[in-house]
Amino acid sequence: MRTILITGPGGSGRTTIAAATALEAAREGRRTLLLSADRTDTPGTALGTATGPVPTEVTAHLTAWRPDAVARFREDLTAFQSRAANVLDLLGAARLDAEEVTPLPGAEELSFLRALRDAALSERYDLLVVDLPPLPQALALLGLPEELRRYLRRLLPPERQAARALRPVLGRLAGVPMPADWLYETAARWDVELAAVEAVLTDRDTAVRLVAEPGPAGADAVRAATLGLALRGLPTEALIANRALPDTADAWPAPLLAQQRKALADWQESYDVRPVPHLGRDPHGPDDLAALAVPAVNPARAPVEWPVTDRIAEDGVLVWHLPLPGAIRDELDLVRRGDELLLTVGPFRRIVPLPSALRRCTVAGAGLRDGELRIRFAPDPGLWPAKGR
């Protein structure tokens, strides 16, 4: 399934663009699902049809869905209490009723990610258009599956489960049931679910469209978003310049026209810019969405890769290439820790596992050139296979 993730600064019109993109694809005959993280029914306002926690058919080929985070959290907590009944009884814990449960911080994001996974795995649709939260919440959301999986592996390493055979014996000796089984089983289940979400986000048929209004504020947001997405290895398919004024817009102030033209000219040097016209009003209904003339849904482009090139014969190093468009040298920081690289780029940070070949090397330097970070690794003689072996 083709998946298009749409985000942008708050107030940029990303939800309207997502609705227009989904509607255009449906009119072309694609079975399309518009999945929105919007708490209010902004997608319904744009489409002219109310949307909510139950998938709603908008047209013959378009369905819209806004998952209910509160309801899903209650369902998850009830199921968790049932699975952990023995442990909760052992601890003397009082059960929570579904009616008294309110979502904890982060619960809404996890609920939406699970909905995204379910939608992407469905065979009912050809295209999934995802209306993400505004920046920077969207960037944090996209990084959540990888980060949570890493925490699980560190806190509950899989190899420690080898001791499970001893737990019944320990339980009999202690006279109480051992709670570790359900903990590892829960962690394994979460890991599988998070891995499925991560697979959707990193799939070659998944891409991001950024929405921003041409101007100084939009330019700053676009640069930060592009950098944050690149750090996650997510390709930016297009930059939607929303509410673009026509060159003949005499009714608009000249300074505003000049500001937009300058922003568009700057963007076109680095991005695939797709202007979407200003209608002079807030779009409402299918006719207005069609008038926006959003870019068509094209086949997926090649995924962003972080290749390793072998320059041992020439320079004695392996070079890891990390595309980071918009990165600034003074905002870069690299730390090697074991088999991981702690990479900080401006306000963004990611802990990346090293490719297997680089784990047998030491860092020999790094440089930023033309929006690409190149890290040099020298083979460690104690770990690198000798010639002839």
Q: Residue 111: what pLDDT?
A: 86
- The single-letter DSSP state of residue 123 is S
Q: Which residues make up the CATH 2.60.40.790 domain(s) of the chain?
A: 308-379
Name the phi and psi angles at 170, rounded to 5.
-65, -35
Domain 2-69+104-154+198-291 in this protein, CATH class: alpha beta
Q: Residue 324: what pLDDT?
A: 93
pLDDT in tens, the chain (389 residues): 899 999 999 999 999 999 999 999 999 999 999 999 998 999 999 999 999 999 999 999 999 999 987 777 777 777 766 766 665 566 566 666 766 667 666 778 888 998 999 999 999 999 999 999 999 899 999 999 999 898 888 877 765 554 554 455 444 444 445 455 666 777 788 888 899 999 999 998 999 999 999 998 888 899 999 999 999 998 889 999 999 988 775 677 888 888 999 999 999 988 999 999 999 889 999 999 999 999 999 877 777 789 999 999 999 999 999 999 889 999 999 999 999 999 999 999 999 999 999 999 999 999 999 999 999 999 998 888 766 55
Q: Residue 78: what pLDDT?
A: 72
Q: Which residues make up the CATH 3.40.50.300 domain(s) of the chain?
A: 2-69+104-154+198-291
Percent of residues in the chain assigned helix, strand, coil, to nearest 5:
45, 25, 35
Torsion of Cα atoms, 334 then 339 then 340 then 341, to 10°: 20
Instruction: Select from 2.40.30.10, 2.60.40.790, 3.20.20.150, 3.30.70.20 the CATH code of 308-379.
Output: 2.60.40.790
Plot region of 293 (φ>0 → left; ψ -120 to 50 → alpha; else → beta): left
Q: Both tokens of residue 117?
A: 């996974």
Evaluate whether 339 touches 353 at the Cβ level (below 8 Å). yes
Q: Residue 208: what pLDDT?
A: 95
Residue for token pair 């911080």:
105
Q: What is the CA radius of gyration of the chain?
A: 25
Q: What is the H or E stretch that residue 32 is in?
A: strand 32-36
- The single-letter DSSP state of residue 28 is T
